[in-house]
Amino acid sequence: KMVAKKNLCILILAAGKGTRMKSPLPKPLHPVCGLPIIAHILKAAQALNPAAIGLVVGHEAATMEETVKAGLPAWGVTAPLVFVEQTELTGSGSAVKAALPLLNRFEDVMVLNGDTPLLKTATLEQMYSSFEENASGAMVLGVSVPDPAGYGRIVREADGSFARIVEHADADEKTLLIHEINSGMYLFKSPLLAQALAELKPQGPKHEFYLTDTLSSIKAMQHPVLVFGSEDYQQALGVNSKAQLSQAELIMRRRVTDRLLEEGVTIPNPDAVFIDAEVQIGADSFICPGCYICGKTVIGKNCMLEGNVYIKDSVIADNVTLKMGTYVEESQVDENCQLGPYAHLRPKSVLKKGAKVGNFSEIKKSVIGEGSKVNHLSYIGDTDMGAGVNVGAGTITCNYDGKNKHQTVIGDHAFIGSNVNFVAPVTVEKYAKIGAGSTITKLVPEQSLAIARSRQVVLEKKGIQHD
């Protein structure tokens, strides 16, 4: 790990109301490719190795703080994080003001809006280098976008240097034509920022304190204020509405499939798969349209995912085939297994090497041993199954007595006929056989044959009354 930049603090502004999202969920918690917007920003911020990260919360502050704290381990965010509360939601300038006691302890402050999930660490890294090289007082990441509506415009002097930022709501017709916008990512010399914040006056239709006004006032203090440019304008996309949320999602999905294609995964139609940001897939695995691969899923090499497979938070080893419609959640599937069509692995299921779970079979919190087969129409729950077991069609574990769940244990090489019920807790020892249609309620010893069904009665024609 790199040494922390001991002079740098990164402040993320996430106190705003996010009114345009029309949702009770705070804006920074809306997911993009399976991770909340704020998680993407925290991860990018941490990758810069700052000495500290500050997070300004306000609207739904308690929910924000709880959710972020709970999410940190899963997001891999371990950098020192300080929550700052903005009590009056009077603009981005006020948000930064609320954090001054934290910011005063550092020389350099990077400020990031809390609604730009596509930001790139590499760009911020380059911007910080340029900030240091140029001994700037402040710097803003500016990009030219096809549609600048809603963004603050970067107004330049006749000589091309930075003049000021004008918010969309305050812009005249001429300013509205500017396509160069403020991305909401900034760097400041901390003492200059503090001084500029003290001078802020409310602006615009909502009488807000604009952080953007600090840039022109630092310039007025005779310190260089620079615009750092980037060709990649998409990284500046701010999410203010559900339309922008879906734009961010599409762009990030493209980034994910581009990465996977680069790593040798075969994806015939990248626009037709839904793969979350952190998913890993090995080379030559084949991902058909309609697949959802979510959360922390890791898939090995040479796997085949037929259409409409859903996998969440699971580990799939090499050479696994997941046929059409298979659903896998919080489970582990070892090499050479085959699932589906329409198999369902519920949480905490483990399929050992070469196991098969076929059509309409449901597995829950169970181990299916090496090479064992549950091929047709079964429910296997709370079961520890050994290797080489064959489970006949329609076999069910009766694992729930209305109050508690009970275990079924099936030894290696047991042969289970079709339509067997296991009334748990119950054990079947290795090499035992069970006749079709049996309801098993007690131990079946090693190598024995158990039949637990009523005998067939045949009444001859003469014994039956026909009307």
List the one residue out of 383, 293, 277, 283 whose CA is nearest residue 329: 293
Nearer to ligand UD1, 164 or 364 (CB): 164
Query: What does DSSP say about strands 367-368 and 396-398: parallel, antiparallel, or unpaired?
Result: unpaired
**Torsions phi, psi for 175 (to 5 deg):** -70, -35
Is-catalytic flag, 59? Answer: no
Hey, CA dihedral for 111, 114, 115, 119, is it positive or negative? Answer: positive
Contact map string, positions 165 to 184, toward ligand UD1, x by CB under 6 A: x-x-------------xxxx
Q: How far is CA 269 from the centre of its chain?
A: 21
Residues 6+ apart with CB under 8 A from 151: 145, 168, 181, 182, 238
Using CB under 5 A as the binding rule, whether residue 238 contacts Ca ion is answered as yes
Q: Which two tokens stand for residue 79?
A: 């950098």
Q: How far is CA 302 from the centre of its chain?
A: 24
Separation CA 93–CA 175 (nearest Å) = 22
Using CB under 6 A as the binding rule, whether residue 136 contacts ligand UD1 is answered as no
Binding to ligand UD1, residues 41-60 (CB under 6 A): 56, 58
- The answer to whether residues 166 and 253 touch, using CB atoms and an 8 Å cutoff, is no
Among the listed residues 168, 376, 406, 413, the single catalytic one is 376
**Of the ranges 8-16, 47-55, 193-201, 395-403, which one interacts with ligand UD1 (CB under 6 A)?**
8-16
- Minimum distance, C-beta of residue 92 to Ca ion, in the bound complex (Å): 9
Separation CA 357–CA 367 (nearest Å) = 12
- Minimum distance, C-beta of residue 184 to Ca ion, in the bound complex (Å): 6
Three-state DSSP class for 20? Answer: helix
Among 40, 58, 84, 115, binds Ca ion (CB under 5 A): 115
Residue 310's binding partner among Ca ion, ligand UD1, none (Cβ under 5 to 8 angstroms by kind) is none
- Minimum distance, C-beta of residue 151 to Ca ion, in the bound complex (Å): 8
- Minimum distance, C-beta of residue 349 to Ca ion, in the bound complex (Å): 42
Using CB under 6 A as the binding rule, whether residue 151 contacts ligand UD1 is answered as yes
Number of neighbouring beta carbons within 10 Å of residue 412: 16
Nearer to ligand UD1, 38 or 428 (CB): 38
Contacting residues toward Ca ion, per CB under 5 A: 115, 238, 240
Give catalytic residues, as residue numbers. 376
Q: Contact residues for ligand UD1 (CB under 6 A)?
A: 13-16, 56, 58, 86, 89-92, 94-95, 113-115, 151-152, 165, 167, 181-184, 210-212, 238, 240
